Amino acid sequence: MPALPDVLAVLCGSLVGFSLALIGGGGSILATPLLLYVVGVRDPHLAIGTSALAVAVNAFANLIPHARAGHVRWKAAFTFAATGVLGAFVGSTIGKLVDGQRLLVLFALLMLVVAALMLRGRRGGAIDRYPLPHMFPRLGAVGFAAGSLSGFFGIGGGFLIVPGLMLASGMEIIAAIGTSLFSVGAFATTTALNYSASGLIDWRVAAEFIAGGVVGGWLGALGAHRLAQTRGTLNVVFAFAIVAVAVFMLVKNLRD
């Protein structure tokens, strides 16, 4: 029989994959705390590297059903990712140099920002104005900024990428969610490669997390249309879950 940590890794991966496919960002930020406090990975840098690999594979897997449904704007995706991977390399290199406990405190503060953005909601996504004039320079600038933050914290960054794509290109939210998965995968892959070079990936846990995430991601993609009317409610639920985890992390790491 599989050990309890193995089962927990699969279940946690399913949750992250489901949320990543369904709401296009926010849920994947739970990957690192889940690995640390549920699965039992002890080193913060190891958890960040492992979660980056898992998020990368899950994002590319979840990209497939969105692409088949015509929700991916490929020119915008490639432009955004091209500068974003440079930012992800810079951010992940800096992140490895930061003390693990301090990094987790910063991570928890970022989670509170993500929760606030999710509670605020995404506006202006009902009208498709893609492509906006002169959108490529804006896509490049926003992509680099999002990639840098993604690499530093080892996250997918979908909570930044989705509104960034909408602002820079004028695409509607369902297209931004599908398009964002390409950049999420590209940024997380860059971060994972950087951490792997330093031996900071638990390959067994990553494989289990990925296996669960693929299943959860496909279920989330199937529910994206059916639950379109309740996505605001889902954002609120995930936001409060993120707040709870962030407060726990702050209390734990500031007390130690």
Residue 73 backbone dihedrals phi, psi, to 5 degrees = -100, 100
Residue 78, pLDDT score: 95
Mean pLDDT of the chain: 84
- Per-residue pLDDT tens over the stretch 176-217: 888 988 998 999 999 999 999 999 999 999 999 999 887 887
Q: Could you tell me the end-to-end alpha-carbon distance of the chain, in angstroms, rounded to an integer?
A: 35
Whether 95 shows a pLDDT value over 80: the answer reads yes
Judged against a pLDDT cut of 60, whether residue 124 lies above it is answered with no
Q: Give me 114's structure tokens.
A: 């993500």
The pTM assigned to this predicted structure is 0.83
Q: pLDDT tens across 207-247, in order?
A: 999 998 878 877 776 766 666 555 566 667 677 878 888 89
Alpha helices per DSSP H over the chain: 4-23, 31-34, 44-68, 74-97, 100-120, 135-153, 158-169, 173-196, 203-226, 231-255
Give the separation between CA 204 and CA 197, rounded to whole angstroms. Answer: 17
Q: Is the pLDDT of residue 100 over 80?
A: yes
Give the domain ranges of the chain: 4-255
Q: Which two tokens stand for residue 138?
A: 């804006």
> Tokens for 30?
């739970």
Give the pLDDT score at 177.
82
Residue 104 carries which side chain, given as an amino acid letter? L
Answer whether residue 172 shows pLDDT above 90: no
**What is the mean predicted confidence (pLDDT) over 23-30?**
65
**How far, in Å, CA of 251 to CA of 33, rounded?**
13
Mean pLDDT of 124-151: 85
Helix, coil or strand: residue 6: helix
Q: In this model, does residue 48 exceed pLDDT 80? A: yes
